[in-house]
């Protein structure tokens, strides 16, 4: 593979990773806000430590 194509692929991968990271941060922030608004502080703490529980809450809130 030539250098130009390799650079384009790397650049595309980096942009994809950045988008994914941003989306994850936005989802987590949205979940934290919703839980805080509902005074579900225990759930917020647990979600920050437990990935499976966090995913369950994402589903619960449609995030």
Tens-place pLDDT, residues 1-54: 688 788 777 887 888 888 989 999 999 999 999 999 999 999 999 999 999 999
Provide the greatest CA pair distance for the chain: 55
pLDDT of residue 28: 97
Domain count across the chain? 1
**Residue 43: helix, strand or coil by DSSP?**
helix
Answer yes or no: is 6 within a domain. Answer: no
Place of tokens 């941003």: 22
Answer yes or no: is 40 within a domain. Answer: yes
pLDDT of residue 22: 95
Please state, in angstroms and rounded to a whole number, the distance separating the CA atoms of residues 27 and 10: 26
- Asked if residues 36 and 44 have their Cβ atoms less than 8 Å apart, the reply is yes
pLDDT of residue 20: 87
Its domain, for residue 25, covers: 12-61
Answer yes or no: is 2 within a domain. Answer: no
**Residue 50: helix, strand or coil by DSSP?**
coil
Please state, in angstroms and rounded to a whole number, the distance separating the CA atoms of residues 47 and 27: 12
């Amino acid at each position: 593979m030539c250098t130009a194509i390799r650079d384009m692929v790397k650049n595309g991968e980096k942009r994809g990773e950045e988008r994914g990271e941003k989306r994850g941060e936005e989802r987590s922030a949205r979940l934290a806000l919703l839980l805080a608004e509902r005074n579900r502080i225990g759930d917020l703490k647990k979600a920050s430590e437990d990935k499976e529980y966090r995913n369950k809450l994402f589903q619960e809130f449609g995030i």
